[in-house]
Amino acid sequence: MIAKTFAAVFVVLGLGFAASPAIAQEDVPLTPKQVDGVRKIVRDYLMEHPEVIGEAIEALREKMRLQAEADAKKSIDAYKEELFNGKDDPVAGNPKGDVTLVEFFDYNCPFCKQSMEPLLDAVKADGKVKVVFKEFPILTDDSMVASRVALAAKKQGKYDEVYRAFMKYRGQLDEKAIWRLAAEAGVNVDQARKDAASPEIQKQIRRNQEIAHALDIGGTPTFIVGDHILSSALDQGGFKQLFESARKGTPQPQQ
């Protein structure tokens, strides 16, 4: 097998000499002297043509990118209904839009906060985008409290107000600030405390975490559009380009 490998290297590098009968036979290994000779030939070639290394690295990167896209598509397909049409998920924008964006986020994530206004502005300007919010508290224990309170507020029709209040809060949200902001947003705190502790809400968040794990999502914010997963903060222009390219079937926003 070693001999075949070196023979293949000769072909790939275009060294242009035929392998000897000994090399052609898989069960006849190269001698140490032959191995040293092959190494010298390969090294000399690469020293004369260093661009080959760069070309090989770029080819590997492209291969890995395509494989990652294929893996992402397969994973998204497996959870497509829960991702884009989950009955309990908060939704913004146009529920009947021709583009659906799913966001996994944490209220204590500075990049999620940074993306909030640009996302909502871009969605409003477009008019044909549906946004699905996936509560994904992974940074702190208070992040979990915030997600539970936000989903409890949804039961009172106050999710949008609480979501915005939490995202606009500067600094790390703690439990005291969470309940204060919820009350200021018009939430019935007594009822919300009961709902936030309910098995139903705990199950919803746990399911979001399971889906994120299956999709290899480990950070926030992470956006899913079509068959693509993007883990990066975007400005309004970036979201606009994301929506436009999604309609073309190739969402690849440039920052």
Cα–Cα distance for residue pair 78/233, rounded to 1 Å: 25
Q: Does domain 79-248 have CATH number 3.40.50.720?
A: no
User: Which residues are within 8 A (CB) of 240 and not within 5 positions of it... i.e. 6 or more apart?
Assistant: 122, 125, 126
Read off the amino acid at residue 89: D
Q: Which two three-digit tokens encode residue 130?
A: 């549906």
Query: Residue 162, exposed/middle/buried by CB under 10 A (0-12, 13-18, 19+)?
Result: buried
pLDDT computed for residue 8 by the predictor: 45
Pairing of strands 228-230, 222-225: antiparallel
Q: Indicate whether this model's pTM tops 0.85.
A: no
pLDDT at 236: 96
Q: What is the pLDDT of residue 51?
A: 84
Q: What's residue 22's pLDDT? A: 46
Q: What is the pLDDT of residue 40?
A: 87
In 15-62 the beta strands, taken as DSSP E runs, fall at none
Whose CA is closest to 92, among 120, 51, 121, 116? Answer: 120
**Residues of the chain with confidence (pLDDT) below 50:** 1-24, 251-255
| Residues facing residue 105 across a β-bridge | 135
Distance between terminal CA atoms of the chain? Answer: 46
Q: Is 228 left (phi over 0), alpha (psi -120 to 50) or beta?
A: beta
Q: What gap in Å lies between CA 236 and CA 116, rounded to an integer?
A: 10
What CA–CA distance (Å, rounded) separates 28 from 164? 70
Query: Coil, strand, or helix at residue 230?
Result: strand
For the chain, which residues make up each domain, given as ranges? 2-77, 79-248
